[in-house]
């Protein structure tokens, strides 16, 4: 097969690919991360590149304007290599896989971490208080009595005996690998060894046997594996201390932005393998950074605990997710047995274990259970809601009496996907917007105070809310064609200009279009109506909800007032809303530190019922009624002065 060189600019990275491969796949080989929300179907129009030289074959794409076509803009996913090429990848088409700056991390972590911590520690939300410290991996330093003619227990029985002098462990297991090394280790270490005990569901395994005393070096990792963002905490398991936190993008984004696109991609040849490797690579890169920053040895990482949605967990373990999206939407497993981290390719101590927080169903996963755990909803007298706004919006309703959950396909608009200038909440994203009525002056704030590159979810909420306040929007989302330089007719209908090309770090003006507003309206309607249906189905009314937990990285930058104004959140007393940041990661860390918390998560997953919205006829009515700003029924939003 003929091969060609494709050079990407301005990176100057060159790869060799076979004739007919797409520019997108060439970019993936080159390690250049191009946006591709639709998984390479030519639908999302996020993977625009500029051909500088060479010959390509392309397919017609509605996403390319006439003007762009003239400038040599192509969709990387639909365009195949036919000669040596030079291709420019504009900043707007790139995913940010570069390291975030410390400030950016802090900003993100404000939502991902701190608030959840505060909630967890400041208020007595946890049922039964803090869980007992019993990490999923424990190290014990043991000085064994050496054998003599009177005490001739075998090496393994001697070890078991000594462990049982300090712990009550009815069922203990050991792998052959440890047994093979046991005789030599015990003797070379003069019978002084450190054993690592790991929880393998209901049993305890001798994970590791090391010479001498390494008991003080016992570290674990908690991961929240989101469709878009992966968050990690490195935890000193002895001291119950978080040493470091990281957030990075899930490299699976190369293959589509939501779980459905990825499930479809998984069915392609090698698709499952690629998705599996992408997420594992993401995890391993974070692990490497964390152990480097804290000068740890890989071997001192003894366990990993992952919370993720059901599809993410399937892909992490390379389990086929196909049936998650086929009626009746049944995953292969909600309760995944602990495995050796190595089996999934996760690089910690080769014998260390990896556990996943159990989930409820295909669309309510272990991340939600970890969230319920860390918010302590099951211990509350008050009725609570926990809402995690993402591509799938998961909603939990309950208290100590019951827990019910549902999932709404909100779509990726609030995560910056499927909207013309959307981007994830990273450097350069417009996140706060004020529009002065009349003159329509726009005051923007971007993440990291960088030049604007696009708009993230909280930015869109502000924009729509401000446009409503400024009288620029009809209630159905149509832009009023006022005479103002910021309002114009674009290729896809009316649009409002947020920032001009000259002030931005991108190829064109940053705008919000009517189709964008339509997409965002659908997202907010899906979440709001799901909340309403769930509450009503339980025979309750919204005002009865005393605590309304808002989780997710998204939540940090969310303006509550604006969120209510656009009808994303219900019109409750504002003080009932509680940001909990990344409650999933907080719960994952609790489980990592406590087998008791793991058992609690297990019982929560069994206790939480799942309510399938798609079979509930009233959901569609509620959804239709919510396709206005804020709603067709204004009596539901009494606090808003319209």
Interface with a copy of itself (CB under 8 A): 147-149, 152-158, 170-171, 173-176, 179-180, 182-184, 187, 200-203, 317-320, 322-323, 327-337, 339, 343-344, 361-362, 610, 612, 615
Q: Closest separation between CB of residue 200 and a copy of itself, Å?
A: 8
The CA R_g of the chain, rounded to the nearest whole Å, is 26
* Distant-in-sequence, close-in-space partners of 376: CB < 8 Å, separation ≥ 6: 120, 125, 126, 127
Comparison of 312 and 550: residue with beta carbon closer to a copy of itself: 312
**C-beta of residue 82 within 8 angstroms of C-beta of residue 19:** yes
Comparison of 322 and 484: residue with beta carbon closer to a copy of itself: 322
Q: Closest separation between CB of residue 192 and a copy of itself, Å?
A: 17
Q: What is the Cα–Cα distance from 128 to 36, expressed in whole angstroms?
A: 45
Comparison of 227 and 361: residue with beta carbon closer to a copy of itself: 361
Q: What is the Cα–Cα distance from 464 to 77, expressed in whole angstroms?
A: 31
Comparison of 256 and 331: residue with beta carbon closer to a copy of itself: 331
Q: What is the Cα–Cα distance from 538 to 526, expressed in whole angstroms?
A: 18
Q: Closest separation between CB of residue 150 and a copy of itself, Å?
A: 8
Comparison of 122 and 615: residue with beta carbon closer to a copy of itself: 615
Q: What is the Cα–Cα distance from 36 to 95, expressed in whole angstroms?
A: 9
Comparison of 215 and 333: residue with beta carbon closer to a copy of itself: 333
Q: What is the largest CA-CA distance in the chain?
A: 100
Closest to 113 measured CA to CA, from 499, 429, 584: 584
Comparison of 114 and 342: residue with beta carbon closer to a copy of itself: 342
Q: Closest separation between CB of residue 328 and a copy of itself, Å?
A: 5
Alpha helices in 294-344 (DSSP H): 310-316, 341-344
Q: Closest separation between CB of residue 617 and a copy of itself, Å?
A: 13
Q: What is the Cα–Cα distance from 590 to 424, expressed in whole angstroms?
A: 28
Q: Closest separation between CB of residue 20 and a copy of itself, Å?
A: 31
Q: Closest separation between CB of residue 170 and a copy of itself, Å?
A: 8
List the beta bridge partners of residue 425: none
Q: Closest separation between CB of residue 394 and a copy of itself, Å?
A: 16
Comparison of 189 and 319: residue with beta carbon closer to a copy of itself: 319
Q: Closest separation between CB of residue 261 and a copy of itself, Å?
A: 19
Q: Closest separation between CB of residue 141 and a copy of itself, Å?
A: 21
Comparison of 177 and 481: residue with beta carbon closer to a copy of itself: 177
**C-beta of residue 124 within 8 angstroms of C-beta of residue 147:** no
**C-beta of residue 386 within 8 angstroms of C-beta of residue 371:** yes
Q: DSSP labels for 102-148?
A: HHHHHHHHIIIIIHHHHHHHHS--STTSSPP-B-SEEEEEEEPPPPB
Q: Closest separation between CB of residue 399 and a copy of itself, Å?
A: 24
Give first-to-last CA distance, the chain, whole Å. Answer: 66
Comparison of 323 and 500: residue with beta carbon closer to a copy of itself: 323
480 DSSP 8-state letter: P
Comparison of 146 and 543: residue with beta carbon closer to a copy of itself: 146
**C-beta of residue 550 within 8 angstroms of C-beta of residue 583:** no
b/e per residue 505-542 (b: at least 16 CB within 10 A): bbeebbbbbbbbbbbbbbbbbbbbbbbbbbbebeeeee
Q: Closest separation between CB of residue 406 and a copy of itself, Å?
A: 13
Comparison of 215 and 319: residue with beta carbon closer to a copy of itself: 319
Comparison of 610 and 637: residue with beta carbon closer to a copy of itself: 610
Q: Closest separation between CB of residue 355 and a copy of itself, Å?
A: 12
Distances (CA, A) of 328 to 152, 606, 615: 59, 19, 11
Length of the chain: 642
493: region left, alpha or beta (phi > 0 left; psi from -120 to 50 alpha): left
Q: Is 408 helix (H, G, I), strand (E, B) or coil?
A: strand
Distances (CA, A) of 466 to 39, 88, 444, 469, 514: 33, 36, 12, 5, 15
Q: Closest separation between CB of residue 176 and a copy of itself, Å?
A: 5
Comparison of 498 and 530: residue with beta carbon closer to a copy of itself: 530
> Which class for 10: exposed (0-12), middle (13-18), buried (19 or more C-beta within 10 A)?
exposed
Q: Closest separation between CB of residue 329 and a copy of itself, Å?
A: 7
Q: DSSP labels for 528-594?
A: HHHHHHHHHHTT--GGG--EEEEESHHHHT--HHHHHHTTSS----GGGEEEEESHHHHHHHHHHHB
Q: What is the Cα–Cα distance from 524 to 419, expressed in whole angstroms?
A: 14
Comparison of 166 and 203: residue with beta carbon closer to a copy of itself: 203
> Which class for 587: exposed (0-12), middle (13-18), buried (19 or more C-beta within 10 A)?
buried
């Amino acid at each position: 097969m003929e091969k060609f060189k494709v050079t990407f600019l301005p990176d100057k990275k060159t790869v060799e690919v076979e004739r007919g491969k797409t520019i997108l796949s060439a970019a993936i080989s080159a390690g250049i991360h191009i946006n591709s929300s639709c998984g390479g179907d030519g639908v999302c129009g996020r993977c625009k590149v500029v051909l500088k030289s060479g010959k390509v074959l392309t397919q017609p794409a509605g996403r390319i304007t006439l003007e762009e076509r003239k400038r040599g803009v192509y969709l990387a996913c639909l365009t195949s290599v036919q000669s040596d090429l030079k291709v420019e990848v504009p900043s707007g088409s790139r995913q940010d896989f570069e390291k975030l700056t410390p400030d950016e991390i802090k900003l993100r972590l404000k939502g991902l971490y701190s608030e959840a911590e505060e909630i967890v520690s400041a208020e007595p939300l946890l049922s039964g208080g803090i869980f007992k410290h019993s990490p999923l991996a424990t190290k014990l330093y043991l000085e064994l009595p050496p054998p003599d003619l009177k005490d001739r227990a075998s090496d393994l029985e001697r070890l078991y005996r000594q462990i049982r002098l300090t712990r009550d462990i009815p069922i203990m297991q050991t792998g052959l690998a440890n047994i093979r090394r046991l005789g030599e280790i015990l003797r070379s270490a003069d019978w002084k060894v450190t054993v690592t005990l790991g929880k393998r569901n209901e049993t305890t395994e001798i994970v590791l046997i090391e010479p001498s005393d390494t008991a003080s070096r016992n570290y674990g990792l908690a991961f929240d594996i989101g469709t878009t963002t992966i968050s990690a905490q490195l935890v000193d398991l002895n001291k119950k201390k978080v040493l470091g936190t990281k957030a990075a993008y899930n490299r699976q984004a190369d293959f589509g932005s939501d779980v459905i696109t990825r499930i479809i991609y998984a069915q392609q040849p090698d698709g499952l393998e690629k998705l599996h490797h992408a997420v594992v690579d993401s995890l391993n890169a974070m692990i490497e950074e964390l152990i480097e920053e804290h000068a740890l040895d890989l071997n001192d990482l003894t366990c990993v605990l992952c919370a993720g949605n059901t599809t993410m967990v399937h892909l992490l373990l390379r389990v086929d997710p196909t049936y998650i999206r086929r009626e009746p939407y049944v995953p292969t497993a909600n309760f995944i047995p602990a495995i050796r981290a190595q089996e999934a390719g996760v690089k910690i101590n080769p014998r260390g274990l990896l556990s996943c927080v159990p989930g409820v169903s295909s669309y309510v996963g272990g991340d939600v259970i970890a969230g319920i755990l860390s918010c302590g909803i099951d211990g509350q007298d008050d009725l609570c809601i926990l809402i995690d706004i993402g591509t799938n919006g998961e909603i939990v309703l309950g208290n100590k009496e019951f827990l019910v959950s549902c999932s709404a396909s909100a779509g990726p608009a609030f995560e910056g996907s499927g909207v013309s200038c959307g981007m994830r909440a990273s450097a350069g994203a417009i996140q706060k917007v004020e529009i002065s009525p009349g003159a329509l002056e726009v005051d923007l704030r971007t993440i990291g105070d960088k030049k604007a590159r696009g708009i993230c979810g909280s930015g869109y909420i502000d924009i729509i809310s401000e446009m409503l306040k400024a009288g620029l929007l009809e209630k159905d989302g149509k832009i009023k064609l006022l005479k103002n330089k910021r309002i114009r007719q674009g290729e896809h209908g009316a649009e409002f200009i947020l920032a001009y090309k000259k002030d931005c770090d991108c190829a064109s003006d940053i705008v919000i279009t009517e189709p964008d507003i339509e997409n965002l309206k659908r997202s907010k309607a899906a979440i709001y109506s799901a909340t309403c249906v769930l509450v009503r189905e339980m025979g309750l009314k919204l005002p009865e909800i005393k605590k309304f937990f808002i989780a997710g990285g998204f939540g940090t930058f969310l303006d509550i007032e604006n969120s209510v104004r656009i009808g994303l959140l219900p019109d409750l007393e504002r003080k009932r809303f509680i940001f909990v940041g990344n409650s999933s990661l907080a719960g994952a860390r609790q489980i990592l530190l406590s087998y008791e918390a793991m058992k609690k998560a297990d019982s929560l997953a069994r206790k939480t019922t799942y309510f399938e919205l798609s079979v509930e006829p009233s959901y569609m009515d509620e959804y239709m009624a919510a396709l206005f700003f804020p709603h067709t029924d204004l009596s539901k939003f009494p606090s808003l002065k319209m």
